[in-house]
């Protein structure tokens, strides 16, 4: 059971215009997001594609993953990619905040 950063669910909700409840584990989040994605695949594929571009999921990687693991649930695979990308963004923001802090004695 892998716990997720508390900023992850709000980031996904904002990027995908959702209201997923905060969950405690990666598996719970993946399952809830997979259900939403499967719904979009069947009823609003255009919206899903819009969100994937907005989040900046690597299209080539997604296509390869879906082809290599075609027997698995597509919504679950896409959910994994979305979660992974959002985690990358959160890590990048945290690193930028660290780099932006002035060194001691360099404040103006």
Query: Which of the residue ranges 23-27, 63-67, 95-99 has the most confident prediction, judged by mean pLDDT?
Result: 63-67
Q: What is the pLDDT of residue 95?
A: 85
pTM: 0.86
Buried residues in 41-68 as b, exposed as e (16+ CB within 10 A) = eeeeeeebeebbeebebeeeebeebeee
What 3-state DSSP class applies to 82? helix
Range(s) of the domain holding residue 41: 8-95
Residue 85 belongs to a domain: yes
Residue 108 belongs to a domain: no
Indicate the number of domains in the chain.
1
pLDDT digits (tens, 9 = 90+) for 43-80: 999 999 999 999 999 999 999 999 999 999 999 999 99
Contact 62, 85 (CB under 8 A): no
Residue 70 belongs to a domain: yes
């Amino acid at each position: 059971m892998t716990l997720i950063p508390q900023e992850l669910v709000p980031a996904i909700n904002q990027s995908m215009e959702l209201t997923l409840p905060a969950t405690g584990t990666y598996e719970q989040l993946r399952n809830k997001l997979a259900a939403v994605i499967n719904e979009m695949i069947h009823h609003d594929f255009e919206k899903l594609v819009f969100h994937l571009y907005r989040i900046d999921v690597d299209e080539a990687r997604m296509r390869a993953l879906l082809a290599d693991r075609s027997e698995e649930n597509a919504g679950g695979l896409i959910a994994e990619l979305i979660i992974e990308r959002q985690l990358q963004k959160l890590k990048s923001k945290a690193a930028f905040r660290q780099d932006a802090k002035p060194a001691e004695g360099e404040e103006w």
